[in-house]
Amino acid sequence: MTRSPTYFIKTYGCQMNERDTEILAGQLGVLGYSPAGRDRDADLIIVNTCAVRGSAEEHAFGYIGQLKQLKDANPGVRLAVAGCMAQEPGTIAWLKRYADHVDLVFGTHNLHELPRLLDEVEQRDEMLIDVWRTAGEVVEHLPSRRNDGVRASVNIIYGCDKFCTYCIVPFTRGKERSRDVLPIVEEVRALAAQGYEDITLLGQNVNSFGHDLNPPQDLSDLLAQLETIEGVRWLRYTTSHPRDFSQRLIDTIAASSKITRHVHLPVQAGSNRVLKRMNRKYTVESYLDLVGRIKAAVADVSLTTDIIVGFPGETEQEFEETLRLVREVRYDAAFTFLYSPREGTPAARWEGRDPVPNSAKKDRLNRLMALQYEISLQANQALVGREELALVEGVSKKNDMVWAGRTHSNKVVLFARHPQDDLIDRFVPVRISGAKTFYLLGEQIGGPLARPSSRDRVELPLL
């Protein structure tokens, strides 16, 4: 008997990329592949890359380089590069020059073609490069292999049309394309029936969902409809653009018991001049107004953000305006990034003329992080005494007598583990008893909530 072939997928980047990996894995499952625990045990290795910043690309380039050793030791192994970097001409040139051990390159728009591409690779001696420059129609009903557990992600909109001047995503993921409402609802219903209780709706800009459909649809209506599905306990969505965050959406979140009270609202900068040059299409004033309306309507909302420091031409004074905004909004957490020039974007050209010196960039990042850590700690301290549900993800990395879970607003909470209990993937009531900068401490105050009765897992759902 010949053994079934195995695969290993290395995934970089965002949740959209992780979801793509599930679809790649689903297709491989249909072809008879099974997952290998390590790359060196696999017959096929796919590197699903991210292009958002230079650092993500460097990691992927480093890993692709390392794979040469595996290929030399085992020429039968097939190596593929996929994802956002594959959409960039610079990556293709690099691969041709430095990585002729790679067998296949495909992009974000044709991952559904994996079976055909694998077939074709066997017919050729050189690298097969099949990258679509633009996106085709949304492809439904692809097989998918999701992780076990109770969390699942569901794509609702692909691509991004906003063209922020620093960002590569509109080039790597194409224009905005929403999925129809019906297949989304069917997918979430099927997931709920299989025991997935914590659903995250995904898109580069979920707030634009449905605007391109005929008749147009709206994220608020979609959320309200998904909320009625039995078995869905928590409903999340990411990522939001402040420009399209409607009052209707705020009202829908406020009225809901399932939609997360966590709003991730990337601000990117706190200066109107910088925001304008970033092409964000909102002002500090309109952003603060939005934040005020969210805070007023959604009790105990947890707000997080993304901020870029050192955008070309950013002055010290403009950076201080970002600090001022952070002090005013008091985010629960912020993801802070050094500006990274992306070839082909307008800001990358400005970086050539008017860069912020590296030392100033790093100094600004440190000051921003120090301020945010102080605020995060205070925000977490304010939760002490509160009762929350924690979705248990596993044992703490540092102490196996401690459970690590997440609250509805996506904060990590640690609480004591009794060795006889298996609480993984269960929703457990806890009282918050302590706070650190990056997590909460809790005490379990009751048994896990009952699982929905419909829980019957099916392997490889065709979704």
Residues that bind ligand 5AD (CB under 6 A): 52-53, 166-167, 266, 268, 306, 308, 337, 339-340, 342
Instruction: Give which of ligand SF4, ligand 5AD, none residue 306 binds (C-beta under 5 to 8 Å, depending on kind).
Output: ligand 5AD
The smaller minimum CB distance to ligand 5AD, of residues 350 and 439, is found at 350
Distances in Å between the Cα of 143 and the Cα atoms of 29, 137, 461 are: 8, 17, 6
* Distance (Å, whole) CA 65 – CA 288: 45
Give 357-365 contacts, CB < 8 A, sequence gap 24+: 360/310, 360/316, 361/309, 361/310, 362/338, 364/309, 364/310, 364/314, 364/319, 365/309, 365/310, 365/336, 365/338
Instruction: Give which of ligand 5AD, ligand SF4, none residue 51 binds (C-beta under 5 to 8 Å, depending on kind).
Output: ligand SF4
Query: Least Å distance between CB 87 and ligand SF4?
Result: 9
Query: Least Å distance between CB 252 and ligand SF4?
Result: 26
Instruction: Give which of ligand SF4, ligand 5AD, none residue 308 binds (C-beta under 5 to 8 Å, depending on kind).
Output: ligand 5AD
Query: Least Å distance between CB 173 and ligand SF4?
Result: 5
SS3 79: strand
The smaller minimum CB distance to ligand 5AD, of residues 135 and 168, is found at 168
The smaller minimum CB distance to ligand SF4, of residues 51 and 379, is found at 51
Strand partners, 334: 305
Which DSSP string do the residues of 309-373 spell out, in sequence order?
E--TT--HHHHHHHHHHHHHH--SEEEEEE----TTSHHHHHHHHSPPPHHHHHHHHHHHHHHHH
Asked if residue 308 binds ligand SF4 (CB under 6 A), the reply is no
Is residue 283 within 8 Å of residue 275, measured between CB atoms?
yes
> Helix count (H) and strand count (E) of the chain?
13, 19
Instruction: Give which of ligand SF4, ligand 5AD, none residue 16 binds (C-beta under 5 to 8 Å, depending on kind).
Output: ligand SF4
Instruction: Give which of ligand 5AD, ligand SF4, none residue 342 binds (C-beta under 5 to 8 Å, depending on kind).
Output: ligand 5AD
Query: Least Å distance between CB 172 and ligand SF4?
Result: 5
Instruction: Tell me the one-letter amino acid at 134.
Output: T
Give residue for tokens 């001049």. 273
H/E element, 306: strand 302-309
Asked if residue 277 binds ligand SF4 (CB under 6 A), the reply is no
The smaller minimum CB distance to ligand SF4, of residues 13 and 195, is found at 13
* Distance (Å, whole) CA 288 – CA 270: 10
Is residue 205 within 8 Å of residue 175, measured between CB atoms?
no
SS3 23: helix
C-alpha distance across the termini of the chain, in Å: 31
Taking residues 158 to 177 in sequence order and writing x for each that binds ligand SF4 by CB under 6 A, - otherwise, the string is ----------xx--xx----
Instruction: Tell me the one-letter amino acid at 236.
Output: R
- Range list of β-strands (E), 168-286: 177-178, 198-202, 234-238, 262-264
Q: Which of 202, 207, 218, 213 is nearest to 162 (CA)?
A: 207
Q: Which residue is nearest to ligand 5AD (CB)?
A: 306
Q: How many amino acids of this chain bind ligand SF4 (CB under 6 A)?
A: 13
Query: Least Å distance between CB 330 and ligand 5AD?
Result: 19
Ranges within 37-96 binding ligand SF4 (CB under 6 A): 50-52, 83-84
The smaller minimum CB distance to ligand 5AD, of residues 266 and 461, is found at 266
The smaller minimum CB distance to ligand SF4, of residues 50 and 192, is found at 50
Asked if residue 13 binds ligand SF4 (CB under 6 A), the reply is yes
Query: Least Å distance between CB 85 and ligand SF4?
Result: 8
The smaller minimum CB distance to ligand 5AD, of residues 216 and 344, is found at 344
Segment interacting with ligand SF4 (CB under 6 A) among 12-20, 110-118, 191-199, 248-256: 12-20
- Range list of β-strands (E), 159-293: 177-178, 198-202, 234-238, 262-264
The smaller minimum CB distance to ligand 5AD, of residues 139 and 348, is found at 348
Instruction: Give which of ligand 5AD, ligand SF4, none residue 241 binds (C-beta under 5 to 8 Å, depending on kind).
Output: none
Strand partners, 75: none
Asked if residue 14 binds ligand SF4 (CB under 6 A), the reply is yes
Binding site for ligand SF4 (CB under 6 A): 13-14, 16-17, 50-52, 83-84, 168-169, 172-173
